[in-house]
Amino acid sequence: MTETLHHDQDSTPETGHPADDTRETRREFLEYAIAGTAAALTSSLSSDMATAQDHHAQEHHPDMGQLLAKQLAHPFNQNSEQWLDTHEKEWQECFDCSNNPVSEVTVLCIDERMMLEMKTQFGKRVLRVAGSGILWKNADEFVDAVVAYVTARLNGRPLSAIKVRISSHGDENGRGCGAAGIKYGSETNPDQCARDEQNNVIVAKLRERGIDAEFIGDKEMRQEPHDAIGAVVDCTGGRLQRLPGLNTFVIAMPDHIGYAVTEAMLALKISTGSHAYGDKLKQYTFVIFDDPARPEIARQIIASLKEQTQEYKAKGMDIRFATRQAPAVK
């Protein structure tokens, strides 16, 4: 059994990484994270994550061939490097670069259909994890991770100074949370089971730990099937709050690299599964937003993703990577 990662009490305020290099180097920490948490998350998922998406009725889907053609025609999917260069100002403005103390953390699913506020808000963080955390090995492990994340950003303030908002998503038309289908696919209403866990278990446990937590219910979601053919990985600790005109899954839990990598792979498996494009999809792009304060995180994530996508490349799939440095905190 793998152990839950905990930040050292002498960690640095923003990163949560050990401040004393005699204890364990950053590289050792990251290698430990990949080995431990990847195994933990993998053990909690079904053997075929993409197949598990099928708890939603397929008759709701339009012609996926037309949707795929539309996505492939988008300038980002034509040339991601050029798109990122052309729109550099726009995507940089999506990061909170202020020195404002963190006041609020919203936990969202990685689902590309989740809609965020149109304006970057100072002092806010957005963590993007599949099903807002329900796919972690157990609720206690996820709660430990959130508590450690909040603690590392208190800067001497009380634990209740940062509000944590746990969200869900889904609708009555069968376009719900794929993570709920993975975990609760055998239940009559997987999405409600996920909501119950998020509200009655995760939020309750966070409150027991002294966190000012609330369940905010279903966040707004585009009423469409999964149509993204790319994923963004935010390595900045949730400073990325939105994306400008870019349709991708979003993953943001860089303090637990193994989970971030596995959930990025989950995004790829969803897109290539029967709930989306299946074997028609021959191209996928990962965008890694590098944290200038912690460049080793992006390096580790890219290396792991390149290794884990070899099976897709061997089948002729064009797996693309684009890396950009996120703007630094000013």
Query: What is the mean predicted confidence (pLDDT) over 188-211?
Result: 95
CB atoms within 10 A of CB 31: 14
Tell me if 196 is assigned to some domain.
Answer: yes
Range of lowest pLDDT (39-53, 110-124, 195-209, 278-292)? 39-53
Beta strands in 192-268 (DSSP E): 212-218, 230-234, 249-251
- What is the mean pLDDT of the segment spanning 107-128? 90
Q: Is residue 5 part of a domain?
A: no
What average pLDDT score do residues 229-252 get? 95
Query: How many domains are contained in the chain?
Result: 1
282 burial via Cβ count (<10 Å: 0-12, 13-18, 19+):
middle
* Distance between CA atoms of residues 174 and 58, nearest Å: 9
Give the pLDDT band of residue 173 (cuts 50, 70, 90): low
The C-alpha atoms of residue 248 and residue 320 are separated, in whole angstroms, by 13
Predicted local distance difference test score (pLDDT) of residue 11: 37
Domain assignment present for 330: no
Cβ–Cβ under 8 Å, residues 270 and 230: no
What's the mean per-residue pLDDT of the chain?
83
pLDDT recorded at residue 226 = 84
Give the SS3 label for residue 197. Answer: helix
CA distance 215 to 113: 20
> Contact 98/330 with Cβ under 8 angstroms?
yes
> Is residue 278 domain-resident?
yes
How much is the pLDDT for 297? Answer: 95
Give residue-wise pLDDT tens across range 10-21: 333 343 333 344
SS3 label, residue 284: strand
Domain hosting 317: range is 26-325
Amino acid at 29: F
Q: Is residue 244 predicted with pLDDT exceeding 70? A: yes
pLDDT tier, 113 (very low <50, low <70, confident <90, very high otherwise): confident
Residue 327, CA distances (Å) to 14, 150, 290, 299, 300 in order: 15, 22, 9, 17, 20
Q: Which helix (H) or strand (E) holds 38?
A: helix 26-44
**What is the enclosing helix (H) or strand (E) of 323?**
strand 318-325
Report long-range pairs for 70-74 (Cβ below 8 Å, ≥24 apart). 70/227, 71/227, 71/228, 71/229, 71/247, 72/229, 72/283, 74/247
pLDDT at position 263 over 70: yes
Whether 114 contacts 219, CB under 8 Å: yes
63 domain-assigned: yes
pLDDT band at residue 218 using 50, 70 and 90 as cut-offs: confident
Q: Is 8 helix (H, G, I), strand (E, B) or coil?
A: coil
Identity of the residue numbered 196 = D
Predicted local confidence at residue 181, as pLDDT: 84
DSSP-H helix ranges across 94-234: 139-151, 178-184, 190-196, 204-208
Pull the structure tokens for residue 232.
Answer: 């963004």
* DSSP code, position 130: G
| Highest mean pLDDT pick, 33-42, 43-52, 110-119 | 110-119
Any domain includes 13:
no
Per-residue confidence at 172, pLDDT binned at 50, 70, 90?
Answer: low
Q: For the chain, what is the radius of gyration of the CA atoms?
A: 19
Residue 187, domain member (yes or no): yes
Residue 22 is encoded by which pair of tokens?
């005699």
Specify if 12 maps to a domain.
no
- SS3 state of residue 322: strand
pLDDT tens-digit map of 55-71: 443 334 568 899 999 99
**Dist. CA 325–CA 298, nearest whole Å:** 9
Question: Can you give the pLDDT at residue 3?
Answer: 32
Strand order in the sheet with 163-168: 124-128, 104-108, 163-168, 212-218
